[in-house]
Amino acid sequence: MANNLMLRNTSLLLMLLLTLHVVDDVVHGFDSAGLLNMIGIVVLGFLIYGTLVLHERVSGHIVMLFVALFSTLMPVVHLRSARINETAQASGGFFFIWTLWALGAVGIFGMILAIQGLLNLRRSKSRNLEDA
């Protein structure tokens, strides 16, 4: 149960970091504020729902695994950019790079917790079937 709570909190932290990073993307010109961001807001709403309401189910663990995976891939995408050094040296560059590091590290931790949680759910389901 403690791992489930830790996974839920990690997923919420990752979503907070992702929203801060998306805003920073717009500020640094990697993205534009438009319709695509509105779609992102809707997706974020579903991810929050999956994390908070479905956290004890397989579907909730899959949602949280998706959040962690997306967070882990964010630094891979940005750190390979030709403009990353220019962005790092610009105003707000420290925060931009810090969020990439935080997303990567916490994302890996979240993926481990989500996979462990999925395996635990599978084990408990098989135990319940054996007891029946």
Q: What is the pLDDT of residues 40-73, one digit of tens each?
A: 899 999 999 999 999 889 999 999 999 999 999 9
Domain boundaries, the chain: 2-131
The amino acid occupying position 101 is W
d(CA 56, CA 41): 24
* 85 contacts 97 by C-beta, under 8 angstroms: no
* 95 contacts 44 by C-beta, under 8 angstroms: no
* pLDDT tens-place values along the chain, 132 residues long: 578 899 999 999 999 999 999 888 888 777 777 787 888 899 999 999 999 999 889 999 999 999 999 999 999 988 888 878 887 888 888 998 999 999 999 999 999 999 999 999 888 877 776 666
Write out the two tokens for 70. 């997306």
